[in-house]
Amino acid sequence: MSIFKLCAFADEADPMVSGQIEALHDNGIELIELRGVDGKNVTELTIDEMRALRTRLDGEGIKVWSIGSPIGKVEMDADFNKYLDLFRHTLELAKEAGAEKMRIFSFFMKPEETAGYKNEVIDRLGKLVEIAKDSGVVLCHENEKDIYGDIPERCVDIHKAIPELRAVFDPANFVQCNADTLKAWELLAPYIDYIHMKDADASKTVVPAGKGVGNVPKILENYAAIGGGVITLEPHLYEFVGLAGLEREGATSVIGNNYATKREAFDAGVNALKALI
């Protein structure tokens, strides 16, 4: 039996919660990372809507493991104090959902701007962690292109400065930033909380887990060696509702789209990961 527990961004199977529940049941997955809810981003829900959603998911035997928030996917010149209102609301949603984790990012910027913004990024993330203190929700930073924490070394900057902020490790995102995933794992291992599973090939196109150059089998072996835990499947094998809103303006994700439907792509992603574990 695998030591891993599978979770998923089920909005990649269907934008509607009913279809997400069906996809999770059919694939034997009992954890969900909430991102798209009936075509809306999770941050747009009211507390009452989240309460109703949790009741619905509880009745289906599905637990909200994490909130896959877009917090931190904003330009550095945005009004951060105003942005904190969205963060506080999203944190309350996470608590209402019973989520243990919340995924965040480290702000959009150009590569040449990273050195100048280091201290401000760390200060902002530190404020988020301070607000979340005692909430019962662990904030987890995901490595992602076009943000400060895009490459392993800058992710380490963040985690050394804010050890309470944990890491979500995404192999494909490192591939797309020209980073060696095994070196990234070595550097970030002390801070890794869980994995977002997607892979990418040499052209940086997202592919099923194990079919790319992200060293996914070895990453999974390393994860098992530190006790394993939850793996959230984030297939990115088909365009899904809300994807464009997760990208920096003018940027696009390289998705293969080699499947006829969202659901077919989602199932292919699940099966590829299960074959590895």
CATH label of the domain that carries residue 52: 3.20.20.150
Residue found by looking up tokens 């074959």 in the block? 275
How many domains does one find in the chain? Answer: 1
Give the tens place of pLDDT for each residue, 249-263: 655 566 666 899 999
Residue 219 belongs to domain spanning? 5-276
Is residue 1 predicted with pLDDT exceeding 60? no
User: What is residue 92's predicted lDDT score, i.e. its pLDDT?
Assistant: 98
Percentage above 90 pLDDT, the chain:
91
Residue found by looking up tokens 């199977």 in the block? 13
Give the tens place of pLDDT for each residue, 99-152: 999 999 999 998 899 999 999 999 999 999 999 999 999 999 999 999 999 999
User: What is residue 256's predicted lDDT score, i.e. its pLDDT?
Assistant: 65
Q: What would the two tokens of residue 24 be?
A: 């999770």
Is residue 39 predicted with pLDDT exceeding 80? yes
User: What is residue 234's predicted lDDT score, i.e. its pLDDT?
Assistant: 96
Question: Distance between CA 253 and CA 149 in Å, rounded?
Answer: 17
Question: Distance between CA 261 and CA 60 in Å, rounded?
Answer: 24
Predicted TM-score (pTM) of this structure: 0.94
Is residue 265 predicted with pLDDT exceeding 90? yes
Q: Which of the 8 DSSP states describes residue 42?
A: G
Is residue 17 predicted with pLDDT exceeding 70? yes
Question: Distance between CA 68 and CA 102 in Å, rounded?
Answer: 6
Q: Which amino acid is at 148?
A: Y
**Residue 24 pLDDT class (50, 70, 90 cuts):** very high
